[in-house]
Structure 1
Amino acid sequence: MFSTGIATTIRAAIAQALLLPSADNETFLSLTQQPVMTGLTVMLLLAAIVATLLGALAVVLGSIAASEPRNRLLGVARVLGFSPRQLGALVGWELAPLAIVAIAVGAVVGAAELQLVLGALDLRPFLGTTDAVAPVLDPLWVAGVIAVFTVVVLVAGFVTAAIARRMSPVSSIKMGAE
């Protein structure tokens, strides 16, 4: 959220500065800021992708850490007659709260971090504007970050369910008897 917020905030501030009546300011900004903005946008996009994938990796690693007890539970559920679809739903029930909390906390912390950084730094001299730089969060970028994170968590859930289906129910009962 922070990376996409910074990118959209800077882009909006430059667009606002280009609307100023000074021809010198417009020429200066159009000649010098566009290559910088392109590079900055690419770097911030890469940072957003890496941060999203790291967050998803944390959910996946948490799921892997809990795999042994989950596999025992799913083995017992298979013995009790759960279908593969029901096993998948059970895994989803485990991962969904983690993903929802990660999305909510990530969005709130990213937006708060954007407010904090823009409150602490005066970007006006760098962006050629006289107005204060207001934080901007583009809903499409926010939705994109959330969508990528959700897809990665869904893939992790499907992989977890597939691995659990491969576990022998007999080994789960055997482990429970020991």
Structure 2
Amino acid sequence: MAGKTNDTEDRIIAATIATITKRGSAAISLRQLAQHVGLTTGAFYKHFASKDDLFRAVTVTLSQQLTAQVMPLLAAAATPKEKLCLLGEQLLQASAAQPHVIDFLFFNPQATQQYQPGTDTTDFPLLTLTRQLIAATLASSASTTPTADFFTQVWSFILGYALLIKNGAAVYDRALLTRTLDQMLV
């Protein structure tokens, strides 16, 4: 398609992430994004067919970026449980530092569709990594909790704790994260 370049798509995604970072995803206006990157609204639609299409691309990008940041830290952990705790810690710290971005990454419709068991999460490496660490943690424990249930428990705790931190109702406490994971594995 003439006029469609990865550079333009990358600029649109970067502008979207910048808007989300500052004001949240509700502030996204496709017309304003198009103007910001020097496109007409019609030209914008040559790159992304809809807001959902754009949000999917942004979710994939954020998932890739966060996974790339956390992978070196996980390499230093010895056990799957330690890796899962480190991942949780990184997500919680990111939530405190960039609440709109993490809120978008966890709760936009393109992300939440991926939470269903059996969904192909190839494009969402953060979710794939989380599921792998959950399965490995369960396999190395005496827990009989089904993997899907354990995923829901861990994900719910991390997301809920992140919301509490984001809204100033709690302060991050690594010991609480570790104790909670230990209690879930009983």
TM-score range, shorter chain: 0.3 to 0.5
Higher relative contact order (CA 8 A, sep 6+): 1
**TM-score, structure 1 normalization:** 0.36
Say which structure is richer in helix: 1
- The structure whose Rg is larger is 1
